[in-house]
């Protein structure tokens, strides 16, 4: 298992004394939009090439309210040597939520409370996306329901990520953090990563590790391998 030095808090406030040595098996960017989102231009074959090229072990495709990438992914993903998981970013009037697991039959237009209940009942994972982004925040009393939160988002200002980190630090270790690039262009892929201690091959593994495993968020360029 490779040992990395990880600066667990990303963006511009990385400091060496926050760095810690950590066993990393999977480096994943868990928040990426493809051209199936109206706002992204990323094509899936190129995405897979890029992810492999920069050394990611896995990615999650999280298009806005759609899993339309799934047939394309199923067609090419097993040739790509990296783990590809299709989730989605669900839009509500209380903010945006990454959903993993039961996305094939997820009902549309649920309110945030309903969405939480539904995802939980179906055994999935729901993660508030960029909850402190000023243009698209998550309502605070909804945030309270969360067990996992996207603390680092590649498209946020550092101050928005910092606000999120501050809020999480006041929750008595109740909350686990993830990070993702929120890439809408190929250059953004992998800017922020979540690193996992155990192998993830499919959606079930991913859900299990999110719920019970160990992981950290990191700015990708700050990951530094110490020993293999």
Which residues are near Zn ion by CB under 5 A?
39, 89, 182
* Choice between 90 and 206, CB closer to Zn ion: 90
* Choice between 39 and 228, CB closer to Zn ion: 39
Closest distance of CB 38 from Zn ion, Å: 7
Closest distance of CB 37 from Zn ion, Å: 5
Report how far residue 3's alpha carbon sits from residue 146's, in angstroms, rounded to the nearest whole number: 30
Closest distance of CB 128 from Zn ion, Å: 11
Using CB atoms, what's the residue nearest to Zn ion? Answer: 39
Q: Which of 147, 149, 224, 210 is nearest to 179 (CA)?
A: 149
Strand partners, 61: 32, 86
* Choice between 89 and 177, CB closer to Zn ion: 89
* Choice between 22 and 101, CB closer to Zn ion: 101
Q: Are the CB atoms for 99 and 88 separated by under 8 Å?
A: yes
Sorted by sequence, the CB contacts under 8 Å of residue 40 that are 6+ apart come out as 33, 34, 63, 183, 184, 185
C-alpha of 108 from chain center: 21
Closest distance of CB 156 from Zn ion, Å: 11
Q: What is the strand order of the sheet 83-92 is part of?
A: 125-128, 95-100, 83-92, 58-64, 26-32, 192-196, 215-219
User: Strand 95-100 relative to strand 83-92: parallel, antiparallel, unpaired?
Assistant: antiparallel
Closest distance of CB 225 from Zn ion, Å: 29
* Choice between 94 and 182, CB closer to Zn ion: 182
The label of the residue with tokens 């237009």 reads: 109
Closest distance of CB 184 from Zn ion, Å: 6
Q: Are the CB atoms for 123 and 100 separated by under 8 Å?
A: no
Q: Are the CB atoms for 179 and 27 separated by under 8 Å?
A: no
Q: How is residue 6 written in tokens? A: 């990880």
* Choice between 97 and 196, CB closer to Zn ion: 97
Q: Are the CB atoms for 203 and 31 separated by under 8 Å?
A: no
């Amino acid at each position: 298992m490779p040992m990395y030095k990880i600066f667990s808090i990303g963006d511009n406030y990385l400091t060496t004394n926050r760095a810690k040595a950590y066993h990393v098996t999977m480096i994943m960017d868990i928040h990426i939009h493809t051209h199936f989102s109206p706002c992204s231009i990323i094509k899936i074959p190129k995405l897979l090439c890029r992810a492999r090229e920069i050394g990611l072990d896995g990615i999650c495709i999280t298009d806005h309210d759609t899993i339309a990438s799934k047939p394309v992914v199923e067609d090419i993903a097993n040739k790509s040597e990296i783990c590809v998981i299709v989730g989605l970013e669900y839009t509500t009037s209380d903010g945006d939520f990454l959903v993993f697991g039961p996305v094939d039959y997820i009902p549309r237009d649920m309110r945030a409370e309903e969405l939480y209940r539904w995802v939980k009942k179906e055994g999935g994972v729901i993660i508030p996306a960029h909850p402190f982004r000023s243009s698209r925040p998550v309502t605070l009393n909804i945030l309270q329901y969360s067990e996992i939160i996207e603390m680092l988002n590649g498209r946020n200002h550092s101050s928005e990520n910092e606000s999120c980190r501050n809020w999480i630090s006041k929750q008595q270790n109740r909350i686990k953090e993830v990070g993702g690039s929120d890439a809408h262009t190929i250059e953004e892929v992998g800017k922020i990563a979540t690193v996992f201690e155990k192998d993830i091959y499919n959606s079930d593994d991913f859900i299990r590790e999110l719920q019970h495993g160990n992981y950290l968020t990191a700015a990708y360029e700050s990951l530094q391998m110490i020993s293999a």
